[in-house]
């Protein structure tokens, strides 16, 4: 996705925020542009209190003097603006390409409204071409991998299951100190049933299927930004 399209979607989502709001800040290259736009508004006197969904976003927000808080200090947010790896026509999402899915889901669930920003290449008829990130506890990794593989078999996954690694080839560690399994399903026909099955595995902390959380999406293409929802 070109930076220009990411910026277009991020800018369009600025219409969702008003001074005085409590805002969840997403993670990823598209959400980064939204945080930049918000920072520019804050420099002009816009008031907000924000909860970041990752340490990377927190550092960016601090550098822009965006006031931050936590979900210990406040119990809800007005809106969260975040990117996505896939979005279907029911606004079901796959998220977690950047590894922030757990905090992203906690923050989205605590928000009155979750708004997705992306380009139209993220729009899919059926979720699953993007490998589903599954965040797992380090303890019992082998047993958890076996259990997730069994679920993949049950759901007719077309691809494999991999422990995500970082640029040095070491296991990628999330902000919460967990690992990520990337599960290539190819197609996910029943996202809710898959979600339930994965959450039933004791070692699974969370997964990147966001069901019933996204209220609106701004999807950018070279022709402009389409608003969905």
| Residue whose CB is less far from ligand 5RP, 29 or 200 | 29
Judge contact between 116 and 83, C-beta under 8 A. yes
| Strand, helix or coil for residue 54 | coil
Residue from 50, 58, 79, 100 binding ligand 5RP (CB under 6 A):
100
Burial group, residue 14, by CB count within 10 angstroms (0-12, 13-18, 19+): middle
Q: Which of 16, 86, 104, 135 is catalytic?
A: 104
Judge contact between 181 and 54, C-beta under 8 A. no
- With binding defined as CB under 6 A, does residue 30 bind ligand 5RP? yes
Sign (positive or negative) of CA dihedral 29, 25, 205, 158: negative
Q: Known catalytic residue: 104?
A: yes
Residue from 29, 63, 65, 156 binding ligand 5RP (CB under 6 A):
29
Residue from 16, 82, 86, 88 binding ligand 5RP (CB under 6 A):
82
| Residue whose CB is less far from ligand 5RP, 145 or 174 | 174
Please, what is the minimum distance in Å from the beta carbon of residue 47 to ligand 5RP? Answer: 25
Any idea how long the chain is?
A: 229
| Residue whose CB is less far from ligand 5RP, 42 or 56 | 56
Please, what is the minimum distance in Å from the beta carbon of residue 98 to ligand 5RP? Answer: 3
Distance CA 6, CA 81 (A): 13
């Amino acid at each position: 996705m070109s930076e220009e399209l990411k910026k277009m979607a991020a800018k369009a989502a600025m219409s969702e925020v008003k001074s005085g709001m409590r805002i969840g800040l997403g993670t990823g290259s598209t959400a980064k542009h939204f945080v930049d736009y918000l920072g520019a508004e804050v420099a002009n006197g816009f008031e907000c209190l924000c909860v970041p969904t990752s340490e990377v976003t927190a550092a960016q927000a601090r550098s822009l003097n965006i006031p931050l808080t936590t979900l210990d200090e406040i119990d809800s947010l007005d809106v969260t603006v975040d990117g996505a790896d896939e979005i279907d026509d029911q606004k079901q999402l796959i998220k977690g390409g950047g590894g922030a899915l757990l905090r992203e889901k906690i923050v989205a669930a605590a928000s009155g409204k979750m708004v997705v920003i992306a380009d139209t290449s993220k729009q899919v008829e059926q979720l699953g071409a993007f490998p589903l990130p599954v965040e797992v506890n380090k303890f019992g990794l082998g047993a958890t991998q076996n259990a997730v593989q069994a679920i993949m078999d049950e759901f007719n996954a077309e691809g494999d299951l991999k422990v995500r690694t970082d640029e040095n080839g070491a296991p990628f560690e999330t902000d919460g100190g967990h690992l990520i399994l990337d599960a290539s399903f190819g197609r996910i026909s029943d996202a809710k049933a898959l979600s339930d099955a994965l959450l039933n595995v004791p070692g699974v902390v969370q997964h990147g299927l966001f069901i019933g959380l996204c209220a609106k999406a701004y999807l950018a293409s070279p022709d402009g930004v389409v608003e969905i929802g």
